[in-house]
Structures are given as C-alpha cells and as structure tokens.
Structure 1
Amino acid sequence: MTELYSDDFDEFNMCALKNQLANYIIDVHDIDNRFSNLNGLYDLSKRLVRTKKPSYYPLIFRLVKFALLLPVATASVERAFSTMKFIKNKLQSRMNDDFLSGCMVPFMKKDVFNNISADDIILSFQEMKPRRVVL
C-alpha cells in the first residue's frame, strides 16, 4: 500500500510507520481489549476513531483510510471507462475531449439530470450564444 501512495510515505515516514506499527501491535494486541472481534477494515477504522488512536498512530490510520478508499476509487474509474466506451463508439470515435466530457457527465449523473426538465436545458443552451434557429 505504501508503494501505491509513495508521495505520502517517503523514507522518513516509512521509518516512522514501522515504529508506529510495532507500538500499535503491542498496544492493540496486548493492552487494549476494545480491538477484539473486529470484522474488517471498516470496524477497525471506526474503533480507531472512537478510541482516539489516530492521534497516536496517524500513519497507520492513513493506511487504513487508503485501504478503504481504494475499492471505491477503482470502481469509479471502471465506471468512467465503461461510460466512455458506451459513448465513444465506432460512429463517434473522433469526438474531442470537451464534447466527450460534456456527454459523460449527464450520462454518469443520471439521478441529477433526471430532475431537470428538457425546457430548462433548451433555454440554457439557447442563452449560451445567439442561434440561427430558436429551439
């Protein structure tokens, strides 16, 4: 995990992380019984916050946060590429980045755009610049 986030874990932080990890294992395993019977990273993060351990072990807490964010970030990227593949098919393979972005946002955020009426969109488009034809 530290290799994926090398900007956050430089050589100095890696040494500090090793020290924090050794102290954390002793603290949590041998001293603090509140960390028994955890069911994954989510429970661990909640318990860390409740016991105010992030102030003692900030680098370990950062690693836990990164581990929790990684699946969400991966799913978001996969969803974006799936949307791009759907929008940018063989018929529209030459569209520029601005147009592609303009198509992807409404497609991916359907829940937001479903609440906007077609008339509002047409009026907004019409007001962007003068058009030859009134929509």
Structure 2
Amino acid sequence: MSAAPGPHRFDDVRVILAPNGTATTKAITPNFYAELDGEFNNFEGHILVMAHSFSEDWGMWEMHPMGDEIVVLQEGDVDFVLWRDGAEAVLNIQEPGSYVVVPQGVWHTARPHKKTSMIFFTPGQGTRNEATPG
C-alpha cells in the first residue's frame, strides 16, 4: 500500500521505499529501528529515507553492507568521514544540495562545524554501528 500523499514532516515520520518502489510512511517511535526489521522483512531490499539535524559529532561509525548510501546536505557545514584503506578520507560539505555517495560496506561518520541538516537514503539491512570503524 502506498503512503498517503502528505504533507509529512521528517521530524515525525520517515519514508521506507520497498524493493518494488512503493513508499510507506512510518511514525518515529522509541523502538523505530527494531520495528523496521519486524515490519519490513529484516529491511531486505528496502531504503530508509530520513532527515537528521545535528550539531555534534556522531560519536560512532556506521556501515551499510547491502548498498550505497546517499547523503544530501540541506544546510550546515560538515566533514563527512569515510574509512578507506585504513585511514580517514574527509569530505567537507558546505553547499546546500551537495551530496556524497557512501559506497557499500564503507564505514563512515560525520563531524559538523555548525548545526547541520542532511537527508539520508539508506539501504538499512544489516547496518552496523561501532565506536571505531571495522
């Protein structure tokens, strides 16, 4: 079933794109990520579309083993950090509308220089979060 046309706000509701391209909206709850696995077949083949605003370093690294993640800057100034060949590759993003493609299986984190808002298109199946990359 397709999502209601809206309008919606990312502050309250996320979008899940199914493998067939159908969009479903889901309200944010305290157990949101655990619910995704249960409601969407372990998130197999799905893409989570969400916005996130932050003004502090993420404090952790994440990795998506099932596909590339696309991250679009809405506003702010952020170092988007990829762990490549055993070292940090820092991509500074300042221009709204600019985006990065995080390759499948690459650990990454973000370090904002001021309040930053980004939109994420995340292949969430099997996502890992760790204090350090790898």
TM-score by length of 2: 0.20
Between 1 and 2, higher relative CO (CA 8 Å, sep ≥ 6) is seen in: 2
More helix, by proportion: 1
Q: Name which one, 1 or 2, has greater alpha-carbon Rg.
A: 1
Q: TM-score, normalised by structure 1?
A: 0.20
Q: Flag the structure with higher strand content.
A: 2
